[in-house]
Amino acid sequence: MAEISLIRVDSRLIHGQVITKWRKIFNITKIVVVDDSLANDEFMIRMYEAAAPAGVKVKVYGVEKAKRLWDKNQFGTEGRVLLLFKDIPTCYKLYEQGVPMNYIQIGGVAKTADRKVILQAVSLNESEMELLGKFHQNGCEVAIQIVPEDTKLSYEEIVKKYKEK
């Protein structure tokens, strides 16, 4: 069975930092993107597959299929998986369906009118904070870390920054 090496929420999905830095640190051989709308967009799937370096497979699934494949063989027979989400609600939806998550790394989450800036590349709204709180209450570590060189911002620090805004 494949091994989930990193679970990351990053609205940019596959981009330079994910590919060049996190992939090397975690020795990623497969990227599994879970996103219901993207799973139905063949053109974008091909774009993300092309963005991956040689030797790294990219699979894009909706939540239901991701859950089914997790139950069947944990995303394959071998390799180290980066489980990647565009947003926190989708990540939580898969978690609620029983896919185990012990650590969730928050990468880039774009600023919108309803989000408060936590760090330069990460903004969160009230409902996203509630979901992160549920992860935390269930024993899942949540942290913001854009690149490996950055210090992790813990859940408690995220909450503090959110309340300050």
Q: What is the pLDDT of residue 53?
A: 80
Q: What is the pLDDT of residue 117?
A: 96
Q: What is the pLDDT of residue 19?
A: 79
DSSP state letter for 152: P
DSSP state letter for 109: B
Instruction: Indicate the pairing of strand 153-154 with strand 141-144.
Output: antiparallel
Q: What is the pLDDT of residue 111?
A: 95
Q: What is the pLDDT of residues 54-99, one digit of tens each?
A: 789 999 999 999 999 999 999 987 889 999 999 999 999 999 999 9
**Token output for 58:** 């990219």
Q: What is the pLDDT of residue 1?
A: 73
**What are the backbone angles phi and psi of residue 15, rounded to the nearest 5°?**
-150, 180
CB neighbours of residue 152 within 10 Å = 15
Q: Span 42-59, mean pLDDT?
A: 91
By C-alpha distance, which of 36, 28, 102 is closest to 64?
A: 36
Q: What is the pLDDT of residue 151?
A: 94
The rounded distance, in Å, linking the Cα atoms of 99 and 6 is 13
In the predicted structure, residue 18 carries a pLDDT above the cut 80:
no
Q: Span 137-161, mean pLDDT?
A: 96
Percent helix / strand / coil, the chain, rounded to 5 = 40, 25, 35
Q: How confident is the model at residue 20 (pLDDT cuts 50, 70, 90)?
A: confident
The rounded distance, in Å, linking the Cα atoms of 7 and 83 is 5
Q: What is the pLDDT of residues 99-137, one digit of tens each?
A: 999 999 999 999 999 999 999 899 999 999 999 999 999
In the predicted structure, residue 35 carries a pLDDT above the cut 80:
yes
14, 48 contact by CB (below 8 A)? yes
Q: Could you tell me which residues come within 8 angstroms of residue 125 by beta carbon, excluding any fewer than 6 positions away?
A: 112, 114, 115, 116
Q: How confident is the model at residue 2 (pLDDT cuts 50, 70, 90)?
A: confident
4, 83 contact by CB (below 8 A)? yes
